[in-house]
Amino acid sequence: MAITSKMAIVLIVLMAVFLLSDTVMGQRRSKGGGGGGGGSGSNNLSSSDYGLFCIEVGFYKKTCPNVEKIVKKAVVDYVSIAPTLAAPLLRMHFHDCFVRGCDGSVLLNSTKSNQAEKDAIANLSLRGFQVIDAAKSALEKQCPGVVSCADILALVARDAVSLINGPTWQVPLGRRDGRVSILSEATTNLPTPFDNFTTLKTRFGSLGLSVKDLVVLSGGHTLGVSHCFSFGSRMYNFTGKGDMDPNMDKKYIAQLKTKCKPNDVTTTVEMDPGSFKTFDTDYYTLVSKRRGLFVSDATLLTDKQTKAYVLAQLSSSGSTFFEDFGVSMVNMGKIGVLTEKSGEIRKKCAFIN
């Protein structure tokens, strides 16, 4: 039988769909994990994983239509009383997505046989787990077994930022929860305060995030506090010779030395002095004046693109940054997500089912 041009087109389309489906399923299988919070599930996320799986705004419109209202109530109940919780709640979502993708693995407790991400040094200062638990408890009463802890993290981060005069954005949902959480992976994969630009660009790029996402998400440092040990070497022993970081403003170093003594591991300092409880563009002003706390902040001035973005915010009303932040948070929220039959929907966020 002769094949018409229309039939040929149909066959080509069907073959393309089959090949795409096989590729997607193969990558999903490669992300499988173990049980009990440990295991050796692949953590080799790359830019090819980014945006591969389908999450969408309104995912729960039929199965749990009040999900956003329920989560926001939990956030309001806590953040309205303790605004400083906004920073660690935002950071929690960030730390979740950078290790194994946005799968709620940062919420899992360690077990006798496995040390989880939560106990990594970089995560010991995370706070606000009670907000996640409150939201999950309320959701389980209204929509049992439906909403993932990973999605709760994404919604809580958005609502925490918006409650302290920050932007809001639509959050695509449909993530499922991972069953694996390994301390060493958090140690290896999370960006550090000591990262230079090349290291940061590599970390972000390997997860499908752009240089613009890097500089925009760095703006989250407008919130919260940091321990002195995260930047102490910049004041006291930058190159191992008892010297100061020449890329840090000397007057600022003098101010910080009145708060942070050498080898201080307990004192905290405001990331954005004067407005660390408010989401704004002041962080970029500080960076432009060489007053960012971290090496990873100062390094934004070493790249042409990130420096241009930092300086552009000095004459901006903040609306551009607010819009950009929402876009970059959505981009980050797509990293390595589990969907459909992958993972699970945890009953309690700190434990696998």
Q: Catalytic residues, which ones?
A: 95
What angle is formed at CA 346 by the lines to CA 344 and CA 350, rounded to 5 degrees? 130
| 272 among annotated binding-site residues | yes
Contacts of 155 (CB under 8 A, 6+ apart): 67, 68, 71, 72, 135, 171, 173
273 is in an annotated binding site: no
Cα torsion 152, 156, 157, 159: sign: positive
Q: Rounded to the nearest 5°, which phi and psi values hold at 257? A: -65, -25
CA–CA distance, 171 with 339 (Å, rounded to integer): 15
Determine whether the annotation assigns residue 221 to a binding site: yes
Q: Is 195 annotated as a binding residue?
A: no
Is 49 annotated as a binding-site member?
no
Q: Helix, strand or coil for residue 33?
A: coil
Asked whether the beta carbons of 131 and 74 are under 8 A apart, the reply is yes
Q: Which positions ≥6 away from 25 have C-beta within 8 Å?
A: none
Q: Is 125 annotated as a binding residue?
A: no
- What is the C-alpha separation between 317 and 10, in angstroms, rounded? 52
**8 Å CB contact between 127 and 88:** yes
Q: Is 280 annotated as a binding residue?
A: yes
Pick from 30, 335, 338: nearest CA to 210: 335
Q: Kindly state the DSSP code that residue 351 receives in the 8-state scheme.
A: B
The residues, ordered by sequence, that sit 6+ positions from 10 with a Cβ below 8 Å of its Cβ are none
The residue type found at 350 is A
275 is known to lie in a ligand binding site: no
Residue 25 phi/psi, 5-degree rounding, is -65, -35
Q: Say if strands 268-270 and 225-227 run parallel, antiparallel, or are unpaired.
A: antiparallel
Those residues with Cβ within 8 angstroms of residue 143's Cβ, 6 or more apart along the chain or in another chain: 60, 63, 64, 67
Rounded to whole angstroms, the maximal C-alpha distance in the chain is 87
Closest to 151 (Cα-Cα) out of 352, 349, 351: 349
264 is annotated as contributing to ligand binding:
no
Indicate the annotated binding residues for heme b. 221
| Annotated binding-site residue numbers | 96, 99, 101, 103, 105, 117, 191, 221-222, 272, 280
Q: Which residues does the annotation place in the binding site for substrate?
A: 191
